């Protein structure tokens, strides 16, 4: 193969019009569909007491401003009409759900709207306890539903709750159910429906990191990810649907360092430090691509902060590249978000808080950088994919953008799994191969045909 490697684009100011904000951690506000589109949601503080949720979309060529959702402020004015902290999930065909916080009742509740690719729905009430604070919603679309976690203190302590939206929001479930505060949740849902939620709670005087999971038989007990002598911040789950990692920061060395841990079957590995302990790391976020972990973060190496990208190889436990993506002369870099689109491009958006704004209501712009996918041209009969066994199953990552048909047969030649028009990646999970055995896989398109033997041991 001949690889033509791509480079990050220069930063582009895609929203210079207002005071834009994302959630402070793991916002799930930058997401992609399978049509090559990338979607962003944020809240706009240029109006009185915020009150405006905005959304835009990148169609592969241009950013297209699509929606401005003004929350109903009839229940109050000023702070009591505040709407903020949106989270966004998108279906493969571009239909999407927005959920945000609102303070009109005197306590924070969650509301939402659903977009069916034509119009936005009327406002949906997600929570209505009215005597508690409901904060930091995080959406994730998988298993044919919009999955949601948030924290709520109606029990007297902040606990993490889970629900999902198909045609309506279902019953909310307290998945931590403890008498101490659980905060900073993040959510990932596997294609087979298994749910994984990170959160922090106090242990020996510091905020430690834990995980709860649900594979269909109910929510697990707390699983330890990391218990350090210093607080843990900014927990994020990074997964490609096969392997799963947690990244977070902690001031274990006296500065805010970046850490990573990997989940394997029932437990988390020990943590690995990824930073050099010479500057503070903030707001990490990441994606996986071809078995490696791409992380972006803000470093306080200068007054306004630098935006970096690193590529971590879990197999060698090495950082293969480190790239300075952005540094702004008169603006503080905050809240980077990252997503991998269906073309294989990586997109990063972030907020720049300008200390020399042209207007008091135009201090926070949204900036964007992109890493186009590496183009690979075949010059031999080598296989155009990498196939490997992972925690969740057998993953096939293709090196090109062609479409393949994948068939799995048992030893008797019976077809037990088939998937056509596969592009970029396929994960074969326990749902497809339910029994420990030896299987045979055929991968083919109009130009070529390849065979693999799978030794399936769960």
Contact yes or no for 213/219 (Cβ under 8 A): yes
Please tell me the predicted confidence (pLDDT) of residue 47: 61
Q: Does residue 442 share a domain with residue 348?
A: no
Residues 172 and 240 in one domain: yes
Question: Which run of H or of E encompasses 418?
Answer: strand 415-422
Domain shared by 64 and 191, yes or no: yes
Predicted confidence band of residue 417 (pLDDT cuts 50, 70, 90): confident
Cβ(30)–Cβ(38) below 8 Å = yes
Task: Say which range, 193-197, 216-220, 382-386, has the weakest mean pLDDT.
Answer: 382-386
Q: Which residue has the higher pLDDT, 104 or 125?
A: 125
The encoded tokens of residue 174 equal: 């307290």
Neighbours of 368 (CB within 10 A): 21
Q: Pick 81 or 171 by higher pLDDT.
A: 171
CA-CA distances (angstroms) from residue 203 to 28, 209, 210, 233?
Answer: 27, 9, 10, 14
Question: How much is the pLDDT for 3?
Answer: 43
Mean pLDDT score of the chain: 88
Torsions phi, psi of 395, nearest 5? -115, 135
User: Is residue 280 domain-shared with residue 144, that is, in the same domain?
Assistant: yes
Instruction: Compute the distance between CA of residue 31 and CA of residue 38 in angstroms, rounded to an integer.
Output: 6
Q: Which of 96, 94, 128 is nearest to 111 (CA)?
A: 128
List the structure tokens of 124. Answer: 């949906």
Same domain? For 367 and 391 the reply is no
Q: What's phi and psi for 325, nearest 5 deg?
A: -90, -35
Whether residues 402 and 335 fall in one domain: no
Supply the CATH number for residue 198's domain.
Answer: 2.120.10.10
Q: Are residues 350 and 401 in the same domain?
A: no
Tell me: do 108 and 235 sit in the same domain: yes
From residue 423, alpha-carbon distances to 399, 408, 428 in Å are 10, 17, 14
User: Based on the domain organization, do 123 and 210 belong to the same domain?
Assistant: yes
Mean pLDDT, residues 418-423: 88
CA distance 161 to 150: 5
**Domain span holding position 444:** 382-456
The per-residue pLDDT for range 34-60, each reduced to its tens digit, is: 898 999 999 887 765 556 888 999 999
What kind and span of H or E run contains 52? strand 52-58
Count up the domains in the chain and report the number: 2
Structure tokens at 294: 């791409």
Question: Between the CA of residue 431 and those of 191, 203, 416, 451, what are the distances in Å?
Answer: 10, 37, 11, 22
Could you give the CA distance from residue 43 to residue 388 in angstroms, rounded to a whole number?
41
Q: What would you measure as the largest C-alpha separation in the chain, in angstroms? A: 72
The answer to whether 188 and 240 are in contact (CB under 8 A) is no
Same domain for 260 and 341? yes
Mean pLDDT of 249-270: 94
pTM of the model: 0.86
Domain boundary among 331, 356, 375: 375
| Average pLDDT for 273-293 | 93
Is residue 100 within 8 A of residue 83, CB to CB? The reply is yes
pLDDT at 4: 45
pLDDT bracket for residue 80 (50, 70, 90): low
**Taking 70 as the threshold, does the pLDDT of residue 393 lie above it?**
yes
**Residue 363 pLDDT level (bands cut at 50, 70, 90):** confident
* Same domain as 399, residue 368: no
Read off the CATH number of the domain in which 402 is found. Answer: 2.60.40.3080
Characterize the bridge pairing of strands 364-371 and 346-354.
antiparallel
Residue 258 has pLDDT above 90, yes or no: yes
pLDDT at 51: 60
Distance between CA atoms of residues 248 and 207, nearest Å? 12
Q: Residues 430, 319: one domain?
A: no
Measured from the Cβ of residue 252, the count of other Cβ atoms closer than 10 Å reads 19
Q: Which residue has the tokens 């326990």?
A: 430
């Amino acid at each position: 193969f001949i690889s033509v490697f791509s480079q990050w684009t220069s930063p582009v100011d895609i929203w210079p019009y207002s005071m834009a904000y994302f959630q402070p951690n793991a916002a799930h506000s930058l997401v992609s569909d399978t049509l090559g589109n990338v979607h962003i949601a944020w809240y706009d503080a240029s109006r009185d007491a915020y009150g405006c949720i905005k959304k835009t979309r990148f169609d592969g060529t241009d950013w297209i401003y699509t929606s401005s959702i003004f929350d109903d402020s009839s229940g109050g004015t000023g702070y009591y009409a505040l709407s903020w902290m949106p989270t966004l999930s998108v279906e493969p065909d571009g239909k999407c759900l927005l959920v945000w916080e609102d303070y009109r009742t005197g306590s924070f509740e969650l509301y939402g709207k659903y977009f069916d690719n034509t119009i936005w729905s009327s406002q949906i009430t997600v929570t209505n306890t009215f005597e508690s604070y409901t904060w930091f919603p995080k959406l994730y679309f998988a298993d044919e539903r919009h999955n949601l976690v948030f924290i709520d203190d109606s029990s007297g302590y902040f606990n993490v709750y889970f629900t999902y939206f198909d045609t309506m929001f279902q019953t909310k479930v307290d998945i931590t159910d403890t008498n101490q505060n659980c905060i900073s949740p993040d959510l990932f849902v596997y294609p087979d429906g298994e749910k994984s939620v990170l959160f922090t709670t106090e242990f020996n005087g510091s905020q430690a990191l834990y995980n709860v999971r649900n594979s269909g038989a109910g929510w697990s007990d707390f699983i330890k990810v990391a218990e350090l002598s210093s607080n843990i911040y900014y927990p994020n789950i990074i997964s490609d649907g096969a392997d799963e990692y947690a990244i977070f920061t902690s001031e274990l060395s006296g500065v805010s360092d970046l850490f990573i841990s990997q989940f394997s079957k029932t437990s988390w590995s020990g943590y690995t430090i990824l930073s050099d302990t010479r500057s503070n790391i903030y707001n990490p976020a990441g994606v996986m691509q071809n078995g490696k972990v791409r992380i972006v973060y803000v470093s306080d190496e200068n007054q306004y902060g630098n935006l970096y990208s690193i590529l971590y190889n879990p197999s060698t436990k090495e950082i293969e590249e480190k790239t300075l993506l952005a540094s702004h002369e008169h603006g503080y870099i905050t809240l980077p978000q990252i997503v991998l689109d269906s073309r294989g491009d990586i997109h990063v958006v972030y907020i720049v808080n300008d200390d020399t704004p042209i207007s008091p209501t135009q201090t926070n712009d949204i900036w964007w950088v992109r890493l186009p996918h590496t183009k690979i041209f075949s010059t031999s009969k080598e296989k155009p994919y990498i196939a490997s066994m992972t925690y969740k199953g057998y993953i096939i990552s293709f090196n090109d953008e062609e479409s393949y048909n994948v068939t799995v047969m048992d030893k008797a030649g019976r077809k037990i799994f088939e998937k056509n028009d596969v592009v970029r990646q396929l994960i074969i999970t326990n749902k497809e191969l339910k029994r420990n055995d030896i299987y045979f896989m055929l991968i083919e398109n109009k130009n070529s045909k390849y065979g693999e033997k799978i030794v399936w041991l769960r």
